[in-house]
């Protein structure tokens, strides 16, 4: 697959945070038809480190993966770990400083360091460091987030251009912030478009506190994005939400829900209303039909709903594997169909 073709057609990216899809080998992942994965900058930095990543020639070589690798910048961890107080650290003019509880070490993540780490990881599509915030912040806080995100985007772009000489095939995308304030979303989008990135990511939270897609924000952003660049909704998970986003003009999607739900018995099937199949329900204990009569995955071709129901009820790891294979295959077929 050519990196320049990334996002020209609809694509779904499962979350391989630390360089693996839980309970799946890379060969099993390949069998689902999934074309790319998302890995996490901060977690790979802490668990593998730049020196080891470079010595082992990047995560694609380590995993034996030949699809796309998209890196998040570490920006979401600015919100989920620092703003939330889960990890010690601080946000400052030059970037973010984390103190990891796993080893007690301090990690400095600047816009430039984020790019360097993503290149060491071997990402095909890099993401600018951004200041991710939740939607319920004040407008003043949202403005600070936007301004910081824009400053960091400038620095990421400048550093990426310097290093691109050695990595001509890599793509760099940016993240639009602004929380729930449409004028800030518009401002952030327009300024990022003027900087001319390879792709544009809708950042922050795509789902509001009531579990609903933030349609107004998504529509506000996408209307200003160039049609010849990929348009990425970070964290869009439900099939119906992905369909809505595709209809708006977005092309790239990722979520942790697909694999997480598999392990908890929430599977997807074109045979079911709203696509959802709660396989651990008692009514499936004797059901000898496949999870999805139209699916060609390993689980559906070889096993019944009753067997998957049984495996998940006894917490057998094989059940987690088969459920994960099926959910990924469903999502791949779903986005292809759109």
The structural domains of the chain, with segments of one domain joined by +, span 35-255, 263-337
DSSP 213: B
CA pair distance 7, 16, nearest whole angstrom: 19
Cite the active site residues. Answer: 72, 254
Q: Give the chain's mean pLDDT.
A: 93
Say whether 173 sits in a helix, a strand or coil. Answer: strand
User: Which residue is listed with tokens 């020639």?
Assistant: 57
User: Which residue is listed with tokens 């990334």?
Assistant: 6
Q: What pLDDT sits at residue 326?
A: 98
Q: What pLDDT sits at residue 86?
A: 63
Q: What pLDDT sits at residue 143?
A: 97
10-residue block means of pLDDT along the chain (338 residues)? 92 95 98 96 87 96 97 63 64 79 78 93 95 87 95 97 95 96 98 98 91 96 97 93 98 95 98 96 98 98 98 98 98 97
Measure Cα distances from 217 to 44, 132, 178 in Å.
Answer: 31, 15, 9
Element (H, E) at 137: none
Tokens of 84: 């939330």
User: What CATH architecture is 35-255?
Assistant: Alpha-Beta Barrel (3.20)
Q: What pLDDT sits at residue 260?
A: 96
Say whether 36 sits in a helix, a strand or coil. Answer: strand
* Measured distance between the N- and C-terminal CA atoms of the chain, rounded to whole angstroms: 20
Contact (Cβ atoms closer than 8 angstroms) between residue 321 and residue 20: no
pLDDT tens readout for residues 28-87:
999 999 999 999 888 898 889 999 999 999 999 999 999 999 987 555 665 556 655 666
Say whether 300 sits in a helix, a strand or coil. Answer: helix
CA pair distance 22, 225, nearest whole angstrom: 34
Q: Cα-Cα-Cα-Cα dihedral of 78, 127, 185, 151, to 10°? A: 70
Q: What pLDDT sits at residue 77?
A: 61
Q: What pLDDT sits at residue 93?
A: 79
Dihedral of CA 90/95/101/105: which sign? negative
**pTM, to two decimals:** 0.94
Say whether 130 sits in a helix, a strand or coil. Answer: coil
CA pair distance 204, 305, nearest whole angstrom: 37
């Amino acid at each position: 697959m050519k990196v320049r073709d990334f996002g020209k057609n609809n694509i779904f990216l499962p979350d391989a945070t630390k360089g693996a899809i839980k309970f799946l080998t890379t060969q099993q992942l390949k069998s689902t038809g999934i074309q790319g994965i998302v890995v996490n900058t901060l977690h790979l930095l802490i668990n593998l480190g730049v020196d080891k990543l470079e010595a082992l020639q990047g995560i694609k070589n380590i995993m034996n993966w030949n699809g796309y690798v998209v890196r998040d910048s570490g920006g979401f961890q600015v919100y989920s770990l620092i703003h939330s107080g889960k990890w010690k650290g601080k946000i400052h003019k030059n970037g973010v400083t984390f103190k990891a509880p796993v080893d007690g070490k301090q990690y400095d993540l600047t816009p430039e360091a984020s790019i360097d780490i993503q290149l060491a990881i071997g990402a095909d599509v890099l993401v600018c460091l951004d200041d991710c915030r939740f939607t319920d912040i004040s407008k003043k806080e949202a403005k600070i987030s936007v301004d910081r995100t824009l400053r960091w985007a400038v620095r990421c772009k400048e550093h990426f251009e310097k290093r691109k000489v050695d990595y001509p095939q890599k793509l760099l995308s940016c993240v639009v912030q602004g929380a729930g304030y449409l004028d800030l979303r518009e401002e952030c989008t327009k300024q990022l478009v003027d900087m001319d990135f390879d792709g544009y990511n809708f950042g922050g939270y795509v789902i509001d506190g009531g579990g609903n897609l933030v349609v107004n924000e998504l529509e506000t952003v996408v209307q200003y994005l160039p049609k010849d660049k990929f348009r990425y909704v970070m964290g869009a998970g439900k099939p119906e939400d992905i369909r809505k986003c595709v209809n708006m003009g977005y092309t790239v999607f990722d979520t942790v829900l697909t694999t997480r739900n598999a392990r908890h018995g929430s599977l997807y099937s074109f045979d079911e209303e709203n696509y959802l199949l709660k396989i651990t329900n008692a009514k499936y204990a004797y059901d000898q039909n496949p999870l999805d009569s139209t699916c060609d995955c390993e689980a559906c071709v070889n096993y019944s709903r009753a067997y998957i129901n049984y495996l998940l009820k006894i917490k057998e790891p094989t059940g987690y594997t088969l459920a994960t294979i099926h959910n990924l295959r469903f999502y791949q077929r779903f986005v292809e169909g759109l």
